[in-house]
Amino acid sequence: MRSALYRLAMIIGASSILFTACFASTDWAAKGPTEESYSQESLTLGASVYSDTCASCHGRDGSGSFGPALLGKGHKYAYQDQRRLIERGRRSMPGFGASLTDKEIEAVLAHIRVGFFANRNDELPG
């Protein structure tokens, strides 16, 4: 009896977590680009690094696929935290600190924090 009640409590607990995860999530894309400004050179390089290295998991336009959507996520992470995540990876995301140069990592950050929005209607290279 006690364990049946316990299980019921667990089910209710788990469902409310699921409910929160599904319905109370932030609409990051609506937050748009971050305040930083980047050079056109960096944005252009970033768009091509992104389409070569990240688009397969995060979608060409950043709307997500195997990996989560990235649009507007510059508001979820401070620059350094987002940079660290890209360099080191996290769970099923590989790290790119060894395969990309500093310049390429800076450029891809420029792309996902700002360039996505600036270039949305332009053709992406690659």
Q: Give min distance, CB of 121 to ligand HEC, in A.
A: 21
Note whether 79 binds ligand HEC by CB under 6 A. no
Q: Which of 98, 96, 3, 13 is nearest to 50 (CA)?
A: 96
Note whether 85 binds ligand HEC by CB under 6 A. yes
**Which tokens in the block code for residue 25?**
């999530």
Residues 5-64 within binding reach of ligand HEC (CB under 6 A): 53-54, 56-58
- The residues, any chain, with a CB within 8 Å of residue 6's CB and separated by 6 or more, are none
Q: Give min distance, CB of 10 to ligand HEC, in A.
A: 23
Total residues belonging to the chain: 126
- The residues, any chain, with a CB within 8 Å of residue 18's CB and separated by 6 or more, are none
Residues in contact with ligand HEC by the rule CB under 6 A: 53-54, 56-58, 66-68, 70, 73, 76, 82, 85-86, 90-94, 96, 108, 112
